[in-house]
Amino acid sequence: MEMALEEAREVMEQATARAGVRVRPLTETEDLVEMEALFTAVWEHPPGSVELDISLLAALARSGNYVVGAFREDSLVGATAGFLCEPFPVTLYSHVTGVDRQRAARGTGTALKAYQRVWCLERGITGVRWTFDALQARNARLNMGRLGAGWASFHVDYYGVLRDGLNRDTGSDRLLLHWDLSRTAADRDAQRPADVTHTLLSVGSAGEPVLGAAPTAPTRLQIPTDIDALRASDPALAQRWRDTLREVLPGLIATGWQVVDFDDRGAYVIVPPQQEESL
């Protein structure tokens, strides 16, 4: 554990320096009001609607849970809120993370996650869970490719019908992830297969999902590079991608396949259970 914490502190220092941010807990009302406003803007909520309101943020922040912000100079440009969850007391549920991409430098999201790892390990918390849309390639690259989180389960319409501007009318299918904070970068690198030749899911010539043969060895699951742009230009095709993941992911997860990377070509790299155990 000490090796993981030492690595986490070094990674945090590098990540915050690259993004040009200062990350710290938020407890003062003024900061929490600014955080509520940031989340509302990031998710494009209509008037009268918020992602997390000030009363809940204050309750979380002042009861030992995780409420943290990233500042560029004196401006709040990113934030995260989370709370302890099962299995207690070693797991944090990271409920929401938002970054103002108009004002934040690239790498702010990475800096927030790097800080989160240090905060958790210093308190004996060894795992973080959160959900994300499996069709979001940028998030997948951070979550799996850089952090090394793995999928725990897949849920259709996890949050029901969402009303924010980013997710309205898109469904709320989510992957639940688990990030083992005790694993070092060397551990993650050793788990990644050297050469993956099979592709289970790829992007066709017209942008459509193309399914290959059922895999028995490490394989790739490619997704669109920008699902938000695809939703805007071709909602029906975007829905085909969502339907395809609903068809593919639950079975893979149920039979023990594990995601070990998200590669530079925009694909999840997954391995069968016996391969994952032997790496």
Q: What pLDDT shows up at residue 195? A: 87
184 and 125 in a single domain? The answer is yes
* Domain CATH for 149: 3.40.630.30
Q: What pLDDT shows up at residue 275? A: 56
Is 277 contained in some domain? no
- Could you tell me the residue range of the domain that residue 207 belongs to? 198-271
Mean pLDDT by 10 residues, the chain (279 residues): 95 98 98 96 90 96 97 96 96 97 96 98 98 96 96 94 78 95 93 92 98 95 96 95 96 95 96 68
Is 279 contained in some domain? no
146 and 215 in a single domain? The answer is no
Domain boundary residue among 164, 191, 218? 191
Dist. CA 178–CA 143, nearest whole Å: 10
pTM value? 0.93
Q: What pLDDT shows up at residue 253? A: 96
Closest CA to 31 of 64, 65, 78: 78
Domain boundary residue among 191, 217, 240? 191
Q: What pLDDT shows up at residue 274? A: 74
List of E strands, the chain: 22-25, 66-72, 75-85, 91-99, 127-132, 150-155, 174-180, 198-203, 209-211, 219-222, 258-262, 267-271
Number of domains in the chain: 2
Domain boundary residue among 163, 191, 219? 191
19 and 71 in a single domain? The answer is yes
Is 44 contained in some domain? yes
- The residue count of the chain comes to 279
202 and 149 in a single domain? The answer is no
Is 276 contained in some domain? no
159 and 215 in a single domain? The answer is no
Coil, helix or strand at residue 256: coil
184 and 165 in a single domain? The answer is yes
230 and 112 in a single domain? The answer is no
Is 278 contained in some domain? no
Q: What pLDDT shows up at residue 257? A: 96
